[in-house]
């Protein structure tokens, strides 16, 4: 299986950059969705993305009970590369789940590109495993499903709430302060800010939806306040200017590390945390974005 998934990595990416932007045929998409047990969401660049929120976990960080969409969302993104798929993702795991999941993925030829924290002081402790594979999309999907079964991650697609709870933050004001509009997802206001330059791996462009856009999440904590988390996608010279901008706004940096291997330009991911007036935090995030090459 390992050779079936990875053997075309070097050739596939260089030879099929153009065709990699096309969506999967309906039959392939259906097979992948069947293997993973839920529907994917189409994204620009021919990407089919799957979310696996850890609704089974009850995690508290700095006194805030974390919504699954806020900081506990496993995901996998499939992009067509010729007759194959390139897959990238991030699995949210308890410490006790890491070893079994990693062993399962390794047996099936799915690479781990990072394993680390995103948060500080959360209970129970949560780890984040970044993955990459290229090969037959249905086989990769089945391998991911096998690995997820070593966790308590809900496999069945979550049912939508009949009447979503009112959202207590002024999302229009937040969007205005940051300069980009977001979307609501499971009681969380989410914003995504792509970088201006192309991100390449083996000369193949990696779309923003495969984890190379700055992610910002707002979860209400009452009285106009919000907890915020996410990560800035940075090149080397931007790391310390962004860190300084966040510190000036009272936003904590909780991790700085890589998520991928062999990308160009080299990227660093800076995770952050705050719990304060939502508009104050939004202005602080905008100040940090102004020190990056993001759009």
* Single pTM value for the model: 0.92
Domain parsing of the chain, residue ranges: 2-148, 171-289
Rg (CA), the chain: 19
Tokens 């200017």, located at residue:
241
**Please, which contacts does 34-37 make with residues 24 or more away whose CB atoms are closer than 8 Å?**
35/138, 35/141, 35/142, 35/144, 35/145, 36/76, 36/141, 36/144, 36/145, 37/145, 37/155, 37/156, 37/157
Q: How far apart are CA 57 and CA 64, in angstroms?
A: 14
> What are the φ and ψ backbone dihedral angles of 152, each rounded to 5 degrees?
-95, 20
Residue 194 class from Cβ within 10 Å (0-12 exposed, 13-18 middle, 19+ buried)? Answer: middle
Please give the pLDDT value at position 141: 98
Mean pLDDT, consecutive 10-residue stretches, the chain (295 aa), reads 47 42 93 96 94 97 97 97 93 98 98 98 98 97 98 84 76 98 96 96 91 98 97 98 98 98 97 98 98 85
Query: Looking at the domain covering 171-289, what would its CATH class be?
Result: alpha beta
CATH topology of domain 2-148: Yope Regulator; Chain: A, (3.30.1460)
Name which of 146, 94, 145, 134 is nearest 115 in CA terms: 94
């Amino acid at each position: 299986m390992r050779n079936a998934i990875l053997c075309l990595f070097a050739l596939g990416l260089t030879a099929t950059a153009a065709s990699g932007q096309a969506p999967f045929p309906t039959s392939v998409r259906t097979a992948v969705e069947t293997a993973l047990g839920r529907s994917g969401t189409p994204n620009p660049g021919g990407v089919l993305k799957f979310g696996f929120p850890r609704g089974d976990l009850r995690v508290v960080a700095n006194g805030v009970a974390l919504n699954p969409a806020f900081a506990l969302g496993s995901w996998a993104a499939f992009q067509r590369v010729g007759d194959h798929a390139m897959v990238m993702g991030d699995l949210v795991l308890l410490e006790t789940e890491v070893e079994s999941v990693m062993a399962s993925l390794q047996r099936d030829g799915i690479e781990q590109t990072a394993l680390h924290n995103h948060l500080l002081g959360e209970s129970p402790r949560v780890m984040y495993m970044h993955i990459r594979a290229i090969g037959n999309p249905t086989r990769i999907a089945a391998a991911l499903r096998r690995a997820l079964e070593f966790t308590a991650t809900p496999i069945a697609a979550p049912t939508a709430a009949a009447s979503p709870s009112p959202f207590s933050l002024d999302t229009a004001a937040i969007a205005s302060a940051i300069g980009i509009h977001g979307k609501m997802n499971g009681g969380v206001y989410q914003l995504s800010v792509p970088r201006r330059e192309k991100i390449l791996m083996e000369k193949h462009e990696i779309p923003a939806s495969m984890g190379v856009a700055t992610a910002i999440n707002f979860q209400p904590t009452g009285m106009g306040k919000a907890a915020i988390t996410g990560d800035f996608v940075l090149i080397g010279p931007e790391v310390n200017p962004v860190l300084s901008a966040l510190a000036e706004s009272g936003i904590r940096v909780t991790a700085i590390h890589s998520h991928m291997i062999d990308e160009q330009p080299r990227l660093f991911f800076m995770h952050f945390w705050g719990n304060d007036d939502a508009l104050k935090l939004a202005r602080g995030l905008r100040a940090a974005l102004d020190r990056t090459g993001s759009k």
